[in-house]
Amino acid sequence: MLTTDEDILAKAEDWRKAGKAVAIATVVDTWGSAPRPVGSHLVIDEDGNFLGSVSGGCVEGEVVTEALDVIEAGKPKLLEFGVADETAWRAGLSCGGRIAVYVEKVD
């Protein structure tokens, strides 16, 4: 069963109430074939726990790493992922599309 947006946002609220720092990643744009639609969320706590999906698994690890930086620095980031010859061995989208993911700290 897929996690709903309500589940994801409720988890973010639970972590915040427990005193944890939290970031939320949101798909803000897609080009070509993309595994998750615009508006998809991934919520991450300061310990690296996460819930949701922004890519069906192919770039979540890198988004979590970047989210931990956003939590620490407090500054949002816009991340772009896709497949290109020079980046094929890094995190990328096997579906051939591209996505933009906005990561921000939840205050």
Let me know if 54 is exposed, middle or buried by CB neighbors in 10 A (0-12, 13-18, 19+). buried
In the structure encoding, which two tokens stand for residue 20, read together?
A: 């944890």
Angle at 46 between CA 43 and CA 50, to 5 degrees: 30
Q: What is the pLDDT of residue 86?
A: 45
Say if residue 10's pLDDT is above 50: yes
Overall domain count for the chain:
1
Range of the domain at 69: 5-106
- Model pLDDT for residues 24-73, shown as the tens digit of each residue: 999 999 987 777 889 999 999 999 999 999 987 778 899 999 999 999 99
